A and B are shown apart, each in its own frame.
Chain A
Amino acid sequence: MNDSITFLHSSDWQLGMMRRFLGPDGQARFAQARLDAIVRIGEVAKTTGAAFVVVTGDVFEHNQVERQTILRACEALKRIEVPVILLPGNHDALEPGSLWTSAQWTGHAPDHVTVLTGTEPFEVLPGVEIVGAPWRSRRPVSDPAAPGYEELAADGKTRILLAHGQLASLSGGLSDVPTINQAALEAAVAEGKVRYVGLGDRHSMIRVTDRIWYSGTQEVTAPEELEPGNVLAVTLDPANDTIAVEPIRVGAWHMVEHHAELDDEDSLTALEDWFAELPDKERTYVRLAARGSLPLPLLSRLDAMIDAQGEVFASVERWVKFWTVQPAPDAGDLDMLQLSGPARAAMEELRQALAGGDESAGAALTLMHRLARDAG
């Protein structure tokens, strides 16, 4: 067949994933959002005229996710009206006890959904084959993509390779499992064995080459992810041997990391403004890092601000590792409280301890400041 075909590439749905920085309510909404994104993939398939959808691994967070997660995933998949091909990844490997072979999956999976359980080509459309290398264990001993294409011949068929794993170039050599041989992969593409390689595992969207892509997760899972929340609409034109890959956003959530320098009232105001400008606050998680020192009244204001924003946003988390804001009480603060005698002496002692590097004195000082102010 020489007509061009369009399909959607997604990965790392991680259904059943939980984020500890979200409260119970946020957690529930986050889980639903990941399902909603799948429904939106179905809508994108309609609008783009995609013939099928491939998901390159980690559809589920774990093989032992609760039944509810599986059944809801099946419901979401029913909303995609074209064939869906799922590849088991490292999180949901086709290992013993895999959910793919469980009655919970097999009993509820929609008919148009195919799980790639072997390396033999699957003809999704006449002339179009899907090949893949499902993970059979969480600890593969060799290139997890190779079994998907190494037996193939360049016979003019339109083949799409689905694989899951890290590229050595992207893992920074830190991967503790074998990585995908990028050169071999590119060679296979160059030889025409496969026309497109859909990769999974990285949650960021990454174009490796024109024909080798990480789609990234359909819904963001961490602030450090790059361009998450997209599905790739891939159009292959065998006749002209061209390819077009278009990222289309399906995610609704944001996970933002912010570093603030807090030294005075202006910096505090700037942070307030930054919060104010963020969109979709109820679907946004903010991981806040801050450093600097603030007078006690401003410190109280900062606490109040973060508390209030925590109510507005899905979650605002102080990034403990990078949180070094210290109270900086000056004599004027204390004078304002009109303290005398032992109270004044106690507060002074705490102030000096803080100045001397005793961080726990900061909290005590802030507390005493508040108590004195309220008592006054």
Chain B
Amino acid sequence: MRLHELTLRNFRGVKDRTVALPADGTTVVIGDNEIGKSSLVEAFALVFELPDDSKSTRIRDIQPVGQDVGPEVIAEVSFGETRLRYLKRWLKNRTTELSVTGPNGRKKDWTGREAHNEAERLFAEHVDPVLWQTLMVNQGQSLVQPAPADAEPLIAAVNAESGTPVDGASMPLVLAVEQEYLRYWTKGGKPTGEYARSAQAVAAAQELATRAAKAMEEVAADVRKAERLADELDDLSVRLADHLREVEVLRERKRTTDEILLRRDSARDRAELARAKLDNHTRTRRERERLTAEVERLTEAEAELATLRAETETVARKAADAVREAEAVLADAVELKDQRRESVHEAEQLLSELTDRSELERLLGQQTELADVRARIATATSVLDGIRLDDDTVVALEDARARVVEARAALAAGVPEIDVRRLGAAAVELSGSGIDAGVPALPEQLGEGGSAQLLVSGELTVTVPGQLELTVRAGGEAATLRAALEEAVRRERDLLGRAGVRDLADAREMLRRSDTASAELQEARRTEKSLTAGGDPGERIALLSARLGIVPGAPEEEPEPEEAAPAAKPVEGVPGQMSLFEGLFDDLDEAIDEPEVDPAELLAAVAGDGARVEAAQQALEDARAELALAERLVADASFTATQARKAADADRAEAAQIRARSELAAERLAAATDALEAARAEMSDEAAEATEAEALTEVEALLEELTAVQEQADAVGADEVAGLLDDALAVAARLQTERDTLRDSLRTTEGRLEQSGRDGLATRLDTAELELASVRDVWEALNRRAEAAFRVHETLGRHRAEAQSRYSDPLQSRIEALGRGVYGPSFKVTLDEDLAVSERELDGVRLSVDALSTGAREQLAIITRLAISHLVSTGEGSVPVIFDDALGWSDKGRLRDMGALLGRAGDHGQVIILTCMPERYEYVPRATFIRLEA
């Protein structure tokens, strides 16, 4: 294609301009900015692309702003020898006109849409769009490296140059192969689409078939198992049947032996029964014998005990008598001792009196005349002398009194207390010893309705004359208690006697009087002292006289120790009411109340008593010796009584024991006798013995029978048969269990097989295998096709790559040839599969295009385009090379070299350069310069 002339009217800023271009050589179109250089290129593109009725915004964009005019383009081009004049006006007065003048000079015109279509057809027929786009460099695109691989004119040119025929049909085939390949494979070479799905279907079917086959294997295994179980079951059934026959034989044998065993059991039972009866009879007889013996023995024992009882009772009675005797002796001894003590006391008094008398006699010799004072002293002194007690004495008396009370209380607690009451008219008489009735004396009789409450420490006899005599004897400690009481009473009495008082109250009174007299005496003596300033025997005389009870002039009575004993004799065992001191006090009172005595008379009264003192002393010693003797007697008697009481207690206890034993023996004898009599009433002794003998005979007979049957049983082994049968039955049971287990197992397996049959497992497997075969067939067919597609794709691809490589050689050498004019002989390039320059080598240094400087890249892009243009220039498909502004980044040296290149390019085709910088292209030789004016 050659571009000859271009006219623009109302096109952007251009009102009306026609640019005529030389058909060959390099043309540089110069114009200032905004003058419409780029509009030339744009107009050429629009006139062939868009019909006159186009609504495209690209048309709106070219309408001058604010002017209602139709943009118009007239292009004159030639395709080989065919020349076209093509006019198109858009928007206003739309017009399309085409005039074509053929090689023969004939002209043909089209208008309107037809004109557009024809022009479009002609353009498509002669202009390869790839090449056209490659060689037209719009403003600002000069750095883009061209990639002309798919440009048909280039391929044709390369083929022509390399001698290889043109691959006219390659592109449709390549596409078809690619399409076929992509049906089965992804770009990465993995199965896809139907092919991949088929493989999945095969895997799924395989899985199903495997599962079905496994199920059938299980069925087969079950069948084998069932067969084996059935065999085992048959075998076991045979064994079981054999065994059961053995069991039957044993059962039959047992039936025979059982009859013998039955008889043996019967004989044994009867023998045992008879033996039991015999044992019974023997027991009866032996019991009878035992009873008889028992009665005899008890009779003897009872007699012995009766004798013994009589003996012991006698002994006990005697012992009681001995106690009574001993106690009587003791009582006498005590009485004697008491008397003796009294005698000593009296002797002591007598001695004292006599001593006093002697002293009085001596004092009387010193007695002077002392007047009233002395009489008072004498009086007081006599009073005081009459009192033989002091505080200590009273304390001792109180102590003695307390002991009496304690001893009495002990007696009351330790002896029987007897209540006797007369109920009727009959007289009740009481007598005894050692009785404390709480009254002065034991009443001898009880009046009607009368009663007595008595503590008996000795013996009390209650008599209802003609009807009853009851004797109560206190035993054990009663005598001791009574003795203790008496001792306490004696001690008190002794103390009272010595103190010269009746009782404790009297003593206390006397003590009070003594205090009074002492005070008086002291006062009198102070008076006497003041009167005499010296001693005065009169006082002593008076005292002694008073003490002695000497009444001057009265005949002095000889003291009688025996008669001096207290007149009142206390009731035995009861503390007596001492009246001894009453008399004394009376005497003393009398003596004190006496008028003053004449000392001479007193002297006369006491003279000559010296000899009597010695006698009195002797009497006292004698009395004391007698007392000691009596006390020894008491002690001996007391010991004897105690021993006798102990012996009596022991004897009484023994007698009671023997009595009890005797009574028990009698009871037992009576019982035994009753039992024996009852037994005999039931069966006589003789009958019992006879019955036993009969039973023994029966037992012996039965044992004989038993022995005979046992021998019979032993002969046939009757006892072993049952064991054998049991063993055989156990084995049979075990075999049956085994058989049942096998049968169950077989049933289970058969049940499973039955289910397998119901499930139609074989059909399932066949179906699954059929399905597998079917999908596998499909897959295999697909696989064959896929493999074929793969092979074709790979083979064709490989050959295309090789061809591509071959195409690149002429282009590469053309680029390098042009480039060496600029860069020198070391310049080399490498092309990629799109035939774009990918690397540049200069002076042995290889650099990727991207790594080059902007200027170098632009220069390389221009060189490549010029090389392409050069290559295609010989064919019909050549197109103009158009640069809309370029070489903006080259230095002066390079501008010179590039200018030379651009100039030479014009030798092989139409080169059009649009620029506002004409100086860049001043080195282009033989260029046509066209200046656009505003």
Contacts and interface: CB of A to CB of B under 8 A. Distances in A.
A340 B166 contact: yes
Interface string A353-375: 00000001101101110011011
Interface of B: 159, 164-170, 172-177, 180, 216, 219, 222-223, 226-227, 229-230, 746, 749-750, 752-754, 756-764, 766-767, 769-770, 773-774, 784-785, 787-789, 791-792, 795-796, 798-800, 802-803
Contacts of B756: 64, 97
Contact of B769 (A20, A24, A61): A20
A62 B177 CA distance: 50
A368 B796 contact: yes
A367 B796 contact: no
B773 A20 contact: yes
Nearest to B228: A96
Given A64-B756, A367-B785, A371-B173, A349 B750 contact: no
Interface stretch (A3-11, A48-56, A65-73, A283-291): A65-73
B222 A97 contact: yes
Contacts of B760: 64-69
A169 interface: no
A339 interface: yes
Interface residues of A, number: 49
A339 B173 contact: yes
A96 B766 contact: no
Q: Which 8 A-B pairs have the closest CB atoms?
A: A97-B753, A341-B167, A66-B760, A96-B226, A62-B762, A364-B791, A342-B799, A64-B762
16 contacts: A18-B766, A61-B762, A63-B223, A66-B759, A66-B763, A96-B222, A97-B756, A102-B754, A102-B757, A338-B168, A342-B802, A343-B799, A344-B167, A360-B788, A367-B180, A376-B172
A99 interface: yes
Nearest to A338: B169
Given A364-B788, A375-B173, A99 B757 contact: yes
Contact of B792 (A65, A69, A95, A346): A346
B368 to A, nearest CB: 173
A368 B762 contact: no
Q: Which of B167, B169, B761 has the most chain A CB within a 10 Å cutoff?
A: B169
A350 interface: yes
Interface string A329-355: 000000001111111111001100000
Contacts of A20: 769-770, 773-774
A183 interface: no
Contacts of A138: 223
A104 B177 contact: no
A32 interface: no
A245 B164 CA distance: 80
A363 B219 CA distance: 44
Given A23-B774, A64-B219, A338-B169, 7 more contacts: A96-B749, A96-B750, A97-B750, A97-B754, A340-B168, A341-B167, A364-B789
A27 interface: yes
A191 B167 CA distance: 89
A198 interface: no
Interface in A4-33: 16-18, 20, 23-24, 27
Contacts of B767: 18
B759 to A, nearest CB: 7
Contacts of A345: 799, 802-803
A239 interface: no
Contacts of B177: 368, 371
Contacts of A366: 788
Contacts of B773: 20
Contacts of B226: 95-97
B169 A376 contact: yes
B437 to A, nearest CB: 127
A350 B762 contact: no
Contacts of A117: none
Contacts of B223: 63, 95-97, 138
Interface in A103-126: 103-104
Given A67-B758, A343-B167, A95 B227 contact: yes
A103 B789 CA distance: 56
Contacts of B166: 340-341
A371 B792 contact: yes
Nearest to A18: B766
B169 to A, nearest CB: 6
B909 to A, nearest CB: 26
Given A64-B219, A97-B226, A349-B795, A340 B169 contact: yes
A181 interface: no
A63 B795 contact: no
A368 B793 CA distance: 9
A16 B180 CA distance: 42
Given A18-B770, A64-B219, A367-B789, A372 B169 contact: yes
B219 A97 contact: yes
A194 B173 CA distance: 77
B795 A364 contact: yes
A93 B374 CA distance: 176
Q: Which of A65, A96, A339 has the most chain B CB within a 10 Å cutoff?
A: A96
A235 interface: no
A131 to B, nearest CB: 23
A293 interface: no
A363 B787 contact: yes
A363 B165 CA distance: 27
A143 to B, nearest CB: 19
A372 B173 contact: yes
A29 B752 CA distance: 32
A341 B165 contact: yes
A64 B759 contact: yes
B795 A371 contact: no
A343 B757 contact: no
A116 B789 CA distance: 60
A137 interface: yes
Q: Which of B758, B788, B792 has the most chain A CB within a 10 Å cutoff?
A: B792
A269 to B, nearest CB: 25
A300 to B, nearest CB: 13
A364 B757 CA distance: 49
Nearest to B773: A20
Contact of A342 (B749, B750, B784, B796): B796
Contacts of A62: 762-763, 766
B169 A342 contact: no
A42 B746 CA distance: 39
Contact of A340 (B170, B172, B759): B170
B165 A367 contact: no
Contacts of A97: 219, 222-223, 226, 749-750, 752-754, 756-757
A201 to B, nearest CB: 18
A313 to B, nearest CB: 16
Contacts of A96: 222-223, 226-227, 229-230, 746, 749-750, 753
Nearest to B171: A375
Interface in A218-265: none
